[in-house]
Structure 1
């Protein structure tokens, strides 16, 4: 994605928010290919105007952001999605992850943080904006039983905390004085150890199992 601007679609039912996001991101070099006020219009337009990534409000009339992702995945569309919310709600975050969102970000993030999130998710990473651990553990009902057989080293916990913050393997390596390849190996081993399909689920499972 580095050779050209990331093409994105924006979806928000509030006209001022939609225009504001579009203007701010365009000023930062992000290409806005589509702007829609609801998920249904976006789903109808995407086949004719494919994008690299979708940025959508999570709460909208009709399908909403989570319904948008589920519909995309059901029809075989793997376009990555970042969901934006004004609520620091762990339950919503986990619904978004389960639906297949690659990113979850609060709307009070700076335009620069949103651009960075777009670039990371478009490059194949996941971004889970950190929230308080207590509500996450309480809201995650699918992992109620703690697996006492799973043990994480302090190094593994450090890496997972940085993964939760949206850091890339290169940035994690720089922070912990490890090579990018070593970090990648750690992450792969963590996915196996935690029996998770991706980085975001690994972080959530580690939180709910009280491993972080």
Structure 2
């Protein structure tokens, strides 16, 4: 039974991408994507995405900034119910994006299951295929109910993967968080030192320490990462 195989595949997968590849094979679809969207940072943010889409399409999607007009993403941000992509309005920029996607081997048929995470953000599991309309309709009818349970299992696996990444980092001290938060507001080392009543040298030291703990190249990168990980509040 496909549902049993899918459930076992997710349960034994070492990471999300391995689980997605297994699901594609089990359900005979070309692509699967798990995408976290946290709307506390911006309208749509994507700190954690795992997909079997071609790298060329992913790069093109990001370059064209399609996330802001993608009907699937917009629907996920506005709905808690699973939906077939055929029920969406593909007009204007969204339709142009779909046509563009076809040139990269991405199918026009898909099914998405939105997920919520303690009210702090949203995630979605999506399947995509180049199958015929009749074959796709039969697949959805047979497996849509099971996909909801599979989506929850993928969500738990993703959270475990994210948590293991966070657990590998040393926790930031209070002063390090304060300095990063002020840096996020555009404050210079000197301004940070005046606000916190510490020396400029100490302010630099706290920012450097925070950057190293977060394993970032520079302060800008550290601020972005700390914001996405909810270590500091978004500006």
Instruction: Report TM bin, short chain.
Output: 0.3 to 0.5
Higher helix share: 2
Which structure would you say has the larger Rg? 2
Higher relative contact order, structure no. (Cα contacts within 8 Å, ≥ 6 residues apart):
2
